Structure 1
Amino acid sequence: MIIGVPKEIMKDEKRVAVTPDTVKKFVNDGATILVQRGCGLGANFMDDEYRQAGATIIDDVAEIYKQSDVILKVKEPIFNVEKNMHEIDMMNRGQYLISFLHPANSYNHEMVRKMATNGIIGLTLDGIPRISRAQRMDALTSMSTCAGYKGMIMAADTLSKFVPQLFTAVGMLKPANVMVIGSGVAGLQAIATAKRLGAVVYAADIRPEACEQAKSLGAKVIDCGVPAEIAVGKGGYANRLPEKWIIKERESLRDTIVKMDIVFLSALIPGKVAPIIVTEDMVKEMSPGSVIVDVSIDQGGNCEITSPGEVVTKHSVSIQGIKNIPGQLPTTSTWMFANNVYHIINYLTKDGSIVLDMNDEIVASTIVTDGEKILHQGTKEAMGIA
């Protein structure tokens, strides 16, 4: 099996899909690894380290796509300006692509269609189920840990005031108020980071268990007003709420949101478009200089007016829609991601080749395209495909 690793070309993306350590593991398992020259520099992994681990360094990314059976990427394929063509168009029919594809998000729908048309077999890492046998493959949890920490640091850096309470010669400065919506892995890490920075922290989640975890970290929990039997789905994940309950959730959180200095948004529904919780009207009511960090932007965002991939100021509020916050911690996030990917490949490989068992929960949750058609249920729903 030949595994190809191109350099990531998304703006400001410094991560890479393999480390020298995982290259060595792949080579020991019998695989051939092709990595693009300089692919690991942003994460401080040098070409010589990859070469010493057994990888072949390739200058032309087109050759990597041409020669490989499997392509490993961190982020979804995009248009390659240098080659004047989309990364998908450099791939071969029947080739495997393993990456964070975020296929349910509307801005990736054309890319997903192109994958199906071009015969690509795509597996999305944001679909890995949170079950015990998939823990080592759970790249979403790994990256969410990074996003929760770094996202809160970014918010604090943007905020135009101190985060902790301070007593000065001219008087006391009150601590910043922080609201974390979505107390999953990213949200809990954001809560812990905000508490360490000295903020007064509030949290909200439609799942009672997630609220208890937020409370255990010192957050003041705001009731979303959604019954547990409606809120909690399979595996303890959040359900997609009917519109009347989403409206109820917004109404329950509104008064708290508009008083916050920082609002951290991380409410996600596995494989589906993220729910809109913060409306433009709410943003208009927030104090000038407030900050929103929308880490759910890869699945559409929790704020109605977040700009994907950008940091913008709207209604005097800084709204951060950076799509690759874990990429701001490239060394650590690459190490975590690369190990997750190694375990996925190891799990799927039989006798030196990838074999997909569609009855396997892990495969069924991650498969996006099978080389002919779109299979991912959340994507089909978002596209309106029966």
Structure 2
Amino acid sequence: MQQSRLDLTLSKRFRIANCPLVFLLRSGERRVAITPQNAAVLLKKGFKEVLVEHGAGFQAQFPAHDYEAAGATLVNATRVWTDSNIVLKVRPPRLRSTTLSPNNFISGFRKGGVIISMLQPNSDRYKNVVDTYQSKGLTSFAMDMIPRITRAQSFDVLSSMANIAGYKAVLEASNEFGSFITGQTTAAGKVPPCKVLIIGAGVAGLSAIATARRMGAIVKCFDTRPATKEQVQSLGAEFVEVTDVKEDGSGGGGYAKVMSQAFHDAELRLFAKLCKETDILITTALIPGRPAPRLITEEMVADMKPGSVVVDLAAENGGNCEPTVPGQLIHHKGVTVIGYTDLPSRLPTQSSTLYSNNITKYLLSMSPKEGHFGVDLNDEVVRRSIVTYNGELLPTLPPLAPPAPAAPKAEAAKQAEVVALTPWQKASREVATVTAGMGTALALGKLTGPLFMSNIFTFSLAGLIGSLQLYTHP
């Protein structure tokens, strides 16, 4: 077991920051990695100092005085890198300075430092970042590589951000849609409810279903994993599936797997049919380590009703919808196609709070004992999320095995077959019931006195008259 430990109580300085304000305005990133509340938690857990970059929490509505009240130290971008042992970020760092932000680069970070952020290390987009980590001898962790296992649920940044993205996708679509989401009947006429189709029943898809249903829409959802059907239906949506080809899309780690060509062709035919009757389409399909699958063609978008809206939550990875332009809102043949890649950042306060909770709990989980920070490569969560260890690029572990198919349920005991009663059987049962009642009354009369029977008779009449009054005079 390889392990690295640093004494936090004596030498640890901890930097928590995002990019400076000028860069935020350019990139659209408004989240911050640590909130004042969690800065106080880290100090309480033994970290000697928490450094926060000036303006880091401004657009997430966390003012500087809240950080100072929590015990954090506000510093400029240069000190953030030069004085820290561990750096927490939302996005990967930039590798060079710019005119707008000359100090926000990684060159001042010390050798052997630790950096934790979202990274997408298997993507070519950030290969140069990983190369820099290697050359500088850094230990780096990718929050988006944390496995979806029970023990790591509180660290699961992807689920936290996907939940927000699904919610925000419906709100963005409703802003662009030219009618009510819910159906209404007014003196001016009747307005039908909006019809929403959601592709993918992961965290984002389920969040979108719940939001759209709360707004009164008619929702349909498609997913390649039959196991999600019950979740979709429990939220009040209709589950649609391919009937031509039977194939289970369940993959490892709670994600879907790559489907066969026959299944892909069948689902495209299904989408072509559904798009014609859909007002709002939200796509969320992603496969780890691969570009987003293309599920919606230009022809399907063109067949949608004028004024319809498409929200592509997979835009950052290429998009599920062919006309999608990452980061932009476009109009394609009368249909609005939203390809925003910063939907969680459009709710900066909430997304920062959840991200901060995730990354703080993840950091504190790497504590072999009080006052120490440890990297235990035998820990499954650490091993699957670590990218470089003291500059050494660690090989990516194979994906988690898909869940075992559910064991067939034991055949329930057969219910007794219900046979219609004949007229004679029905009459016999009625006579038996009346006879039993009269026999009981006679037995009570023999065993008790006249006063008891008088009270019973009065009570029965009162109950009978009361029930008649209740049911005949509502």
Normalising by structure 1, we get a TM-score of 0.88
Aligned amino acid, residue 22 of structure 1: N
Aligned amino acid, residue 378 of structure 2: N
Question: C-alpha distance in 2, partners of 1:111/1:290?
Answer: 39
Matched, 1:53 2:70: yes
Aligned amino acid, residue 39 of structure 1: A
Question: C-alpha distance in 2, partners of 1:364/1:235?
Answer: 15
Aligned pairs for 1:27-46 (under 5 A) are 27-31=43-47, 32-46=49-63
Offset at 1:376? 4.0
Question: C-alpha distance in 2, partners of 1:93/1:136?
Answer: 30
Question: C-alpha distance in 2, partners of 1:349/1:211?
Answer: 40
Number of residue pairs the alignment of both structures matches: 377
Moved over 6 A (4+): none
Q: Residue by residue, what CA displacement relative to the aligned partner does 1:126-162 show, whole Å, maximum 9, x if unpaired?
A: 2222222111111211112211111111111111222
Aligned amino acid, residue 48 of structure 1: H
Choose the corresponding residue for 1:96, options 111, 114, 118.
114
In the alignment, which residue of structure 2 is the partner of 1:3? 14
Moved more, 72-81 or 46-55: 72-81
In the alignment, which residue of structure 2 is the partner of 1:275? 293
Distance 1:240 1:354, change over 3 A: farther
Question: C-alpha distance in 2, partners of 1:64/1:363?
Answer: 25
Offset at 1:105? 4.3
Distance 1:207 1:27, change over 3 A: same
Question: C-alpha distance in 1, partners of 2:297/2:135?
Answer: 36
Question: C-alpha distance in 2, partners of 1:374/1:292?
Answer: 39
In the alignment, which residue of structure 2 is the partner of 1:212? 230
In the alignment, which residue of structure 1 is the partner of 2:146? 128
Aligned amino acid, residue 263 of structure 1: L
Aligned pairs for 1:187-206 (under 5 A) are 187-206=205-224
Higher relative contact order (CA 8 A, sep 6+): 1
Q: Residue by residue, what CA displacement relative to the aligned partner does 1:9-64 show, whole Å, maximum 9, x if unpaired?
A: 452322111111111111112222110112112122111111121211012x1321
Task: Say if 1:104 and 1:273, in contact at 8 Å, map to a contact too.
Answer: no
SS in 2 for 1:331: helix
Aligned amino acid, residue 53 of structure 2: Q
Q: Residue by residue, what CA displacement relative to the aligned partner does 1:227-251 show, whole Å, maximum 9, x if unpaired?
A: 454x112344311334443333323
In the alignment, which residue of structure 2 is the partner of 1:177? 195
Question: C-alpha distance in 1, partners of 2:276/2:104?
Answer: 41
Q: How high is the sequence identity, in percent, across the aligned residues? A: 36
Task: Say if 1:106 and 1:300, in contact at 8 Å, map to a contact too.
Answer: no
Question: C-alpha distance in 2, partners of 1:334/1:158?
Answer: 26
Distance 1:193 1:56, change over 3 A: same
Structure 1: 5+ residue stretches without partners:
380-386
Q: CA RMSD in A?
A: 2.6
Aligned pairs for 1:1-386 (under 5 A) are 1-8=12-19, 9-10=23-24, 11-31=27-47, 32-59=49-76, 61-78=77-94, 81=98, 82-83=100-101, 87-89=105-107, 91-224=109-242, 227-229=246-248, 231-350=249-368, 352=371, 354-370=373-389, 371-373=391-393, 375-376=395-396
Distance 1:369 1:242, change over 3 A: farther
Offset at 1:86? 7.4
Structure 2: 5+ residue stretches without partners:
1-11, 400-474
Q: Residue by residue, what CA displacement relative to the aligned partner does 1:149-194 show, whole Å, maximum 9, x if unpaired?
A: 1111111111122211122333222221111111111111110111
Task: Say if 1:144 and 1:186, in contact at 8 Å, map to a contact too.
Answer: yes
Moved more, 201-210 or 142-151: 142-151
Task: Say if 1:126 and 1:270, in contact at 8 Å, map to a contact too.
Answer: no
Question: C-alpha distance in 2, partners of 1:284/1:71?
Answer: 47
Normalising by structure 2, we get a TM-score of 0.73
Question: C-alpha distance in 2, partners of 1:126/1:366?
Answer: 8
Structure with max Cα Rg:
2
